[in-house]
A and B are shown apart, each in its own frame.
Chain A
Amino acid sequence: GQNIDQPTEMTATEGAIVQINCTYQTSGFNGLFWYQQHAGEAPTFLSYNVLDGLEEKGRFSSFLSRSKGYSYLLLKELQMKDSASYLCAVSVNNAGNMLTFGGGTRLMVKP
């Protein structure tokens, strides 16, 4: 099976930078995803890493190290609207590329 760990909660200040870590143990790794989810709403796709390294997308960047089973999501220039849960998910190379999600990190951005 898969095991995905990420911190439960984090707090950061508006305008700052925050890094949300995710570690995973899985077989048949096929990619790592980050989703943003506001309470009661659908998860929204943020980023996808399949190779080692950094993927940058505006204020959001995601890093992957496959050998270490480690990823992080970096959010820059934090805004109040970034207060949400951030879900790390791993895709496994089986029939269907199902996603296994971590428990999510609830980020609170304070003024």
Chain B
Amino acid sequence: DSGVTQTPKHLITATGQRVTLRCSPRSGDLSVYWYQQSLDQGLQFLIHYYNGEERAKGNILERFSAQQFPDLHSELNLSSLELGDSALYFCASSVASGIPQYFGPGTRLTVL
């Protein structure tokens, strides 16, 4: 158990819908990272937040957005969902700007 929690574990929805994925970092970690892992693309970095502020963006679609709240939990919002958005979404956290990153159990999103 890494200490990072993610909810829900599984999510099944339809194309065009919007979903919110939630992540709670390890106690004391200020940095939260979101990654997408699909079968054909491996682990792709989406976005990084540090203490409530966006620090870096990766290959994140405009339909996706995220935020980190004052209690340091983070949410990833995915809208206008497409079949290709079906993937495992991982959240990871680390202390300050430090490394390594510890991963949560992931949310498996299935878009039908």
Contact = CB atoms under 8 A, between A and B. Distances in A.
Interface of A: 30-31, 33, 35, 40-45, 48, 87, 89, 91, 94-104
Interface of B: 2, 31, 33, 42-45, 48, 50, 55-56, 58, 88, 90, 94, 97-106, 108
Contacts of A104: 42-43
Contacts of A100: 45
Contact of A101 (B43, B50, B94, B99): B43
Contacts of A45: 100-103
B90 A98 contact: no
Q: Is the interface of B mostly helix, strand, loop or mixed?
A: strand
Nearest to A42: B103
Contacts, number: 62
Contacts of B58: 98
B48 A96 contact: yes
A109 B63 CA distance: 41
Contacts of A35: 103
